[in-house]
């Protein structure tokens, strides 16, 4: 039995939905590392709408980020405030790639992530899990899909949450985030050499989950 599963890939590829499902089926803990960078972005915006690098570094200095698995999904708190919904707003999404590119932010988050995975039985998703956070993971997946399809999924998701979103704007934002996440100097988004590539463009969530389950046997 493989106990540590790492899932990386670009925004909207279906990582969190699939990771949650696989974790549920295996009775493992799901760790959403993107939520942790979002938490830092949210805290920064509480103090400054501009969110300069200095503001971000100040916010991360003494931040307490907690992820709790609940029946209804992962609950995220920052310094004891529940920010589960707030970290998904367009304002947070807009600055989060910049937040995640800063060395001190990554160092702190990666340390927390490694501690969370130390006992095994985890499914962790993000951008650098297989390459940097958990290089010894038992199963590594690089999950991707076309930009068009990823934008469509995010569009449906945002609409369902009641946000007025423009499809083309969303697609541009996703493409810009892909670029920023893949070209940053520290731990950029890339497929680990030993990761299995899965393209979810024309696969259902259940099909992707089934392939990952098979690799975990």
DSSP 29: E
According to the binding rule CB under 6 A, does residue 145 interact with ligand DC?
no
Q: Which of 127, 150, 154, 211 binds ligand DC (CB under 6 A)?
A: 127
State the Cα–Cα distance between residues 113 and 110, nearest whole angstrom: 5
Q: Which stretch binds ligand DC (CB under 6 A): 23-31, 45-53, 126-134, 199-207?
A: 126-134
One of 3, 17, 25, 34 touching ligand DC (CB under 6 A): 34
Which residue, 26 or 95, is less far from ligand DC as judged by CB? 95
- Nearest CA to 120 out of 107, 104, 137 is that of 137
**Structure tokens of 194?**
């030993």
Binding ligand DC (rule: CB under 6 A), the pick from 22, 100, 102, 208 is 100
Toward ligand DC, which CB reaches closer, 127 or 153? 127
**Binding region for ligand DC (CB under 6 A) out of 66-74, 123-131, 155-163, 167-175:** 123-131
Q: What angle do CA 117, 16, 159 make, to 5 degrees?
A: 150
55 or 126, CB closer to ligand DC?
126
For residues 57 and 21, the answer to whether their CB atoms sit within 8 Å is no
Judged by phi (left if over 0) then psi (alpha if -120 to 50, else beta), residue 9 lies in left
On whether the CB atoms of residues 110 and 69 are closer than 8 A, the answer is no
Q: What residues line the site for ligand DC (CB under 6 A)?
A: 11, 33-34, 37-38, 96-97, 100, 126-129, 177, 181
């Amino acid at each position: 039995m493989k106990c540590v599963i790492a899932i990386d890939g670009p925004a909207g590829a279906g990582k969190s939905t699939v990771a949650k499902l696989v974790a549920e089926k295996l009775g493992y803990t799901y760790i959403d590392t993107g939520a942790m960078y979002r938490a830092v972005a949210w805290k920064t915006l509480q103090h400054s709408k501009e969110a300069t690098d200095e503001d971000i570094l100040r916010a991360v200095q003494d931040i307490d980020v907690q992820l709790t698995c609940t029946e209804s999904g992962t609950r995220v708190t920052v310094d004891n405030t529940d920010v589960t919904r707030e970290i998904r707003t367009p304002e947070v999404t807009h600055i989060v790639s910049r937040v995640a590119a800063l060395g001190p932010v990554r160092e702190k988050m990666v340390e927390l992530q490694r501690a969370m995975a130390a006992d095994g039985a985890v499914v962790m998703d993000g951008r650098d899990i297989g390459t940097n956070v958990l290089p010894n993971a038992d199963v590594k997946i690089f999950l991707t899909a076309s930009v068009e399809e990823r934008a469509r999924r995010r569009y449906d998701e945002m609409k369902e949450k009641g946000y007025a979103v423009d499809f083309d704007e969303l697609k541009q934002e996703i493409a810009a985030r892909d670029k920023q996440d893949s070209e940053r100097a520290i731990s950029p988004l890339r497929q680990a050499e030993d990761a299995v590539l899965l393209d979810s463009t024309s696969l259902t969530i259940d099909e992707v989950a089934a392939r990952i389950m098979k690799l975990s046997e």
